[in-house]
Amino acid sequence: MSTAIEIPYNSTERPDTGLYNAKLGVWLFLASEVMLFGALFSTYVLLRTGADTWEHGAEFLNVPLATINTMVLIFSSVTMVMSWASLKMKNFGKYKLYMGLTFLCGVAFLVIKSFEYAAKFEHHLLPSTSTFMALYFTMTGLHGLHVIGGMIVNGYLWGPGSKMWQTDPERFTNRVEVAGLYWHFVDLVWIFLFPTLYLLPGK
Amino acid sequence: MTEAHHHEEHHGELPFWRKYIFSTDHKVIGIQYGLTSLVFLFFGFSLMMLMRWQLAYPGKPLPIGFLVKWLGDSRMPGGIMAPEFYNQLGAMHGTIMVFLGVVPLAVGAFGNYIEPLQVGAQDMAFPKLNMSSYWVYFIGGVVMLCSFFVSGGSAQSGWTSYPPLSDVTPQSHSLFTGQSMWLTGMVFLITSSLLGSVNTITTIIQLRAKGLTWMRLPFFVWAQLVTGFLLLLAFPPLEAAGVMQLMDRMAGTSFFLPSGLVVGGKALNVSGGGSALLWQHLFWFLAHPEVYVLILPAMGIVAEVIANNTRKPLWGYKSLVYSVIFLGFMSFIVWAHHMFLTGMGTAINAFFQTTTMIISIPSIIILTALILSLWGGSIRFNVPMLFALAFLPMFGIGGLTGLPLGLASADIHLHDTYYVIGHFHYVVAPGTLFALFAGIYYWFPKASGKQMNETLGKWHFWGSLIFMNGIFLPMLIQGLAGVSRRLYDGGVSYLHAEHVLYLNKVMSHSAWALAVVQLIFIVNFFWSLFAGRKVTSDNPWEATTLEWATPTPPPHGNFLKIPEVYCGPYEYSAPGEDKDFHPQNEPYKKPGDQNNQEKR
Amino acid sequence: MSDTHHEDVHRHVKTYIRVFVALAVGTIITVLASNFHLGIILGIIVALIIATVKGSLVAAFFMHLSAERKPIYWVLVLTATFVVAMVGLIMFARRDQQGRQQGIFAVPAKHVPVHHAETPEGAHKE
């Protein structure tokens, strides 16, 4: 059995859909992620409206740190899309720079997050403390796992995966674009998560 | 864009483990899914056979010595089933049959094997992802099986895992409790399904051969496409809910635990403020589309087999396509008909009742189109066709018995009774499972180059048909009499069940007989694989769809020449042709012919 | 993929920077707005609007959604429909609960005269 299969539309777009395979694939995946985080947000809505009282996140969550984290993620989205743009302009050096920055931003986000979590545990604020804290840890925790996942992909594309630039530059550029779409989505979720958990008034 | 099949540098034969274990070839993966799911199906069936002893002979010791000894005193003290063990069997029977058996067989096996072939592709869009999907499913299955062996046993709060019971059974922060392992297993299975559906949808949209327009797709492919979207969009809320239940069990949160809950006489030491109904909403948001995941591929298979064995095009192809799309969409907004008795008000009940009634329309259209397809056909009563034909009335019964359940007022009497169990088993067992059997008998020659034995197949068919009805028809009767489901003693302690209790014995004996009949199938399957009659043609059923345009069995890459499609999927008995079928990849001799066909 | 000209991508880069600035500003506005006591409803609305604007910028420009193809749009429209249905119907179900009907579902309570139970000896009635 030879390994001579070539799946069409990995690098080029299919004329009638205008898409290459991985782009459709990642958008489908993101659609499922929207449903996942949507379910968590609807849990927030349901539990909050059913409660007599609800915590004001800003009172004991670290808003300054989370604001910094928001900026970090937004910045990383810019560097991510710049890394793809660099490949489109055939500048592999710039790609490495921007992708590296994106990865470091991810590290920064997780480090700041771990400070936050540590502070919570020190003050005996655990998931079991209240439904608000349960939601806080579950939503930010799941989001954090997604950040880690994205970093693994980005790290691979920065490191060993970048070899594909030599053999199939179009396909590699597409891979970076697709990884970028995922990364932007992770940023997008945080854009909604941050005000919901940290900023909304209590009741 | 590659047109011709490249003969790239030959990298040498792949080693055994790359060719058969960690293969990226959709056909190998399809067979892996197929064999694994069949094993799980038989295992899940065995769990139920054990339950049926307790239901037919409640409180009597099981007369199978070695089995009692192996199960041990905690599960079968003195040979008599402990109630907790009965609940474990019930919860795991449902879980295994749905998530480890039917869906992997219908979508993972048939979808993976047939769909790329029918769209004329060399493989799925993402072969490595496909391989990962299978192995993630496998791990999920192993986790589920291991859950039987932890202390306290497996999950035992129903396949529906309703809190607060599932949150506190047992009360333990450990991951190694049956329920927490169930939740972990589900996360793996959901991930597998999500990745698989991304592959399915992308393959159908992106890898269709030249000339294969949307309205020339075999109905099987349409069914898999809609199924893919159901899996993609409906599963994540259950994954979220599963994570939250794990948090409840292991981190002491109260997502699903209301305030003031008392368990075993002691107030629960949690924050409270949660909602048990939230779980139900999120669970059924998935689980309703899930049942359409169970039936749609089956309808797809039945359509293929009927068209082929009536030697005429399907009646109402367009209606079939629009109905299946509409059905998929509607399936997302009917879920709370599983929750009519949870104290929801009349307005919301009316909403879900209405959408549920509406969703029966496309179902009926599909069934009717399939039945009408038989009219005027030259019917060949081979084994696949027998199963496909039986599917029609059996699914009819299943579907019709669903109607009173979908009406809130009737559901008051029928909810959580054996009527429900009868209803859904009719759709899944002599419904979906029959369609899957039809698919196995139908595509076996393509995948293996051998024919399955017709006589054994007919015994398998008739035996299964008779005994399945022997199991599930009495359930409808018991349910109407008010016998509740999930009763460990089968209804013995309830006065209103007295006059229908004898049916328990009828059902149990039918179940055990059904198992014996399946042995015929297993023998046939393996014997034919090794010593069956060889097929003499690549297209023994004289079918029109692209999977038959490959060598037998199809090699890596599937097609010797990338196919181009010239006509619709069911060009049988077209006037003016020299044979009674026109394969999709065969060009027309005269330029005018093609237009004539498509106008029909 | 078709070759994008250098000038084209350069224009895109300018856009990315502008979007970044907009997002940063939006973040600051959100944090500042939360310091005003807007009340629950207004607070949620403001937060939601700002987040939606920010999210749309990310989607439209970083994710190139503004230039994307029909299949993607349809997938997203479908997804959005189901999210709205999920959240909406769950909320609807909660509001329309028997015995807890509020607002448009309110059922006027029947007046049931209250009979005071006999108080046990020594107990004070509040």
Nearest of B270, B284, B275, B268 to residue B338 by alpha carbon: B284
Considering the domain architecture, whether residues C48 and C76 belong to the same structural domain is answered as no
Considering the domain architecture, whether residues C96 and C52 belong to the same structural domain is answered as no
CA distance A42 to chain B (A): 9
pLDDT in tens, B440-487: 999 999 999 999 999 999 999 999 999 999 999 999 999 999 999 999
What letter does residue B451 receive in the DSSP assignment? E
Q: What is the rounded distance in angstroms from the CA atom of residue A189 to the CA atom of residue C54? A: 11
Q: Which residues of chain A does C58 touch, with a Cβ-Cβ cutoff of 8 Å?
A: 77, 184, 187-188, 191
Considering the domain architecture, whether residues C5 and C56 belong to the same structural domain is answered as yes
Chain-centroid distance, C-alpha A9: 26
Q: Is residue C125 very low, low, confident or very high in pLDDT (cuts 50, 70, 90)?
A: very low
Considering the domain architecture, whether residues C7 and C28 belong to the same structural domain is answered as yes
Considering the domain architecture, whether residues C52 and C91 belong to the same structural domain is answered as no
Tell me the mean pLDDT in the region B204-217.
97
Q: How many domains does chain B have?
A: 2
Q: What is the pLDDT of residue C112?
A: 54
B12-26, B76-90, B409-423, range with the lowest pLDDT? B12-26
Q: What is the pLDDT of residue B552?
A: 92
Residues whose CB falls within 8 Å of the CB of residue B179, separated by 6 or more in sequence, listed in order: B155, B156, B157, B161, B166, B169, B170, B249
Q: What burial letters (b/e) apply to B557-575, b meaning 16+ CB within 10 Å?
A: bbbeebbebbbbbbbbbbe
Q: Is residue C109 very low, low, confident or very high in pLDDT (cuts 50, 70, 90)?
A: low
Give the ipTM of the model, two decimals please. 0.95
Indicate the helix (H) or strand (E) that contains B450.
Answer: strand B450-451
DSSP codes of every residue in A87-124: HHTT-HHHHHHHHHHHHHHHHHHHHHHHHHHHHHHHTT
Is the pLDDT confidence value at C2 over 50? Answer: no
- For chain B, the average pLDDT equals 94
Considering the domain architecture, whether residues C98 and C64 belong to the same structural domain is answered as no
In-domain check, residue C113: no
Domain span at residue B552 reads 535-600
Considering the domain architecture, whether residues C35 and C23 belong to the same structural domain is answered as yes
Q: What is the rounded distance in angstroms from the CA atom of residue B183 to the CA atom of residue B175? A: 10
Is the pLDDT confidence value at B394 over 70? Answer: yes
Q: What is the rounded distance in angstroms from the CA atom of residue B39 to the CA atom of residue B145? A: 12
Task: Give the nearest partner residue to B271 out of A3, A22, A128, using CB atoms.
Answer: A128
Residue in this structure with the two tokens 């298979």, named with its chain if needed: B301
User: Radius of gyration of chain C from Cα atoms?
Assistant: 27
Are B1 and A29 within 8 A, CB to CB? no
Q: Which residues of chain B does C79 touch, with a Cβ-Cβ cutoff of 8 Å?
A: 233
Considering the domain architecture, whether residues C42 and C87 belong to the same structural domain is answered as no
Q: What is the rounded distance in angstroms from the CA atom of residue B587 to the CA atom of residue B456? A: 39
Q: What is the rounded distance in angstroms from the CA atom of residue B562 to the CA atom of residue B552? A: 16
Give residues 257 to 286 of B whose Cβ lies within 8 Å of A: 270-271, 273-275, 278, 282, 285
CB atoms within 10 A of CB B13: 11
Q: What is the pLDDT of residue B172?
A: 93
What angle (nearest 5°) sits at the alpha carbon of residue B242, between those of residues B236 and B246?
Answer: 150
In-domain check, residue C10: yes
pLDDT in tens, B239-264: 999 999 999 999 999 999 999 999 99
Domain span at residue C101 reads 69-105
- Which subunits count as partners of chain C given 3+ CB pairs below 8 Å? A, B
Q: Widest CA span of chain B, in angstroms?
A: 84
Per-residue pLDDT of chain A in tens (203 residues, 90 and over written 9): 445 688 999 989 999 999 999 999 999 999 999 999 999 999 999 999 888 899 999 998 999 999 999 999 999 999 999 999 999 999 999 999 999 999 999 999 999 999 999 999 999 999 999 999 999 999 999 999 999 999 999 999 999 999 999 999 999 999 999 999 999 999 999 999 999 999 998 88
Q: What is the rounded distance in angstroms from the CA atom of residue B577 to the CA atom of residue B567? A: 14
Task: Give the nearest partner residue to C54 out of A173, A191, A201, using CB atoms.
Answer: A191
Task: Give the 3-state secondary structure of B398-447.
Answer: HHHHHHHHHCHHHHHHHCCEHHHHHHHHHHHHHHHHHHHHHHHHHHHHHH
Tell me the mean pLDDT in the region B345-358.
95
pLDDT in tens, A140-179: 999 999 999 999 999 999 999 999 999 999 999 999 999 9
A180 contact C CB<8A: yes
Considering the domain architecture, whether residues C1 and C18 belong to the same structural domain is answered as yes
Q: How many domains does chain C have?
A: 2
pLDDT in tens, B415-443: 999 999 999 999 999 999 999 999 999 99
Q: Which of B220, B251, B282 is where one domain is finished?
A: B251
Give residues 210 to 239 of B whose Cβ lies within 8 Å of C: 229, 233, 237
Residues whose CB falls within 8 Å of the CB of residue A91, separated by 6 or more in sequence, listed in order: none
Q: Which residues of chain C does A34 touch, with a Cβ-Cβ cutoff of 8 Å?
A: 76, 79-80, 83
C121 versus B109: the higher-pLDDT residue is B109
CA distance B506 to chain A (A): 44
Q: And the tokens for C50?
A: 């700002």
Q: What is the pLDDT of residue A5?
A: 83
Are A12 and B234 within 8 A, CB to CB? no
Is the pLDDT confidence value at C71 over 50? Answer: yes
Q: What is the rounded distance in angstroms from the CA atom of residue B222 to the CA atom of residue B215? A: 9
Q: What is the pLDDT of residue B600?
A: 45
Considering the domain architecture, whether residues C44 and C84 belong to the same structural domain is answered as no
CB pairs under 8 A between A and B: 152
A102 contact C CB<8A: no
Q: Which of B251, B283, B305 is where one domain is finished?
A: B251
Q: Which of C17, C46, C68 is where one domain is finished?
A: C68
What letter does residue C97 receive in the DSSP assignment? B
% of chain B exceeding 90 in pLDDT: 92
Q: Is residue C126 very low, low, confident or very high in pLDDT (cuts 50, 70, 90)?
A: very low
Q: What is the pLDDT of residue A118?
A: 96
Task: Give the nearest partner residue to B345 out of C85, C89, C98, using CB atoms.
Answer: C98
C-alpha to C-alpha distances, A173 to A151, A161, B1, B220, nearest whole angstrom:
17, 11, 17, 35
CA distance A145 to chain B (A): 13
* Residue boundaries of the structural domains of chain A: 58-199
Q: What is the pLDDT of residue C12?
A: 84
Considering the domain architecture, whether residues C62 and C75 belong to the same structural domain is answered as no
Report residue B262: phi and psi, to 5°: -120, 125
Q: And the tokens for A14?
A: 């299919």
Nearest of B198, B101, B166 to residue B140 by alpha carbon: B101
Tell me the mean pLDDT in the region B329-344.
95
Q: And the tokens for C93?
A: 């179900």
CA atoms in the 13 A half-sphere facing the CB of C47:
23
C110 versus A86: the higher-pLDDT residue is A86
Are A31 and C91 within 8 A, CB to CB? no
> Domain A58-199 maps to which CATH number in 1.10.150.20, 1.10.357.10, 2.60.40.10, 1.20.120.80?
1.20.120.80
Are A3 and B8 within 8 A, CB to CB? yes
B168 versus B18: the higher-pLDDT residue is B168
pLDDT in tens, B44-77: 999 999 999 999 999 999 999 999 999 999 999 9
Size of chain A, expressed as the number of residues it contains: 203
DSSP codes of every residue in B258-291: -TT-EETTEE--S-----HHHHHHHHHHHHHHHH
Chain-centroid distance, C-alpha A105: 11
- Which subunits count as partners of chain A given 3+ CB pairs below 8 Å? B, C
Residue in this structure with the two tokens 């059923």, named with its chain if needed: B541
> Alpha helix locations (H) across B63-154?
65-71, 83-95, 103, 112-118, 127-146
CA atoms in the 13 A half-sphere facing the CB of B554:
32
C92 contact A CB<8A: no
Residue A54's identity, in one-letter code, is W
Nearest of A136, A45, C104, C114 to residue B282 by alpha carbon: A45
Q: What is the pLDDT of residue C1?
A: 42
Substitution target in B271, B278, B344, B560 with the highest count of A β-carbons within 10 Å is B271
A53 contact C CB<8A: no
In-domain check, residue C1: yes
Q: What is the pLDDT of residue B423?
A: 98
Nearest of A58, A144, A191 to residue C20 by alpha carbon: A191
Q: And the tokens for B173?
A: 């922060």
Considering the domain architecture, whether residues C33 and C76 belong to the same structural domain is answered as no
Q: What is the pLDDT of residue B112?
A: 97
In-domain check, residue C48: yes
- Contact between B304 and B219 under an 8 Å Cβ cutoff? The reply is yes
What letter does residue A161 receive in the DSSP assignment? G
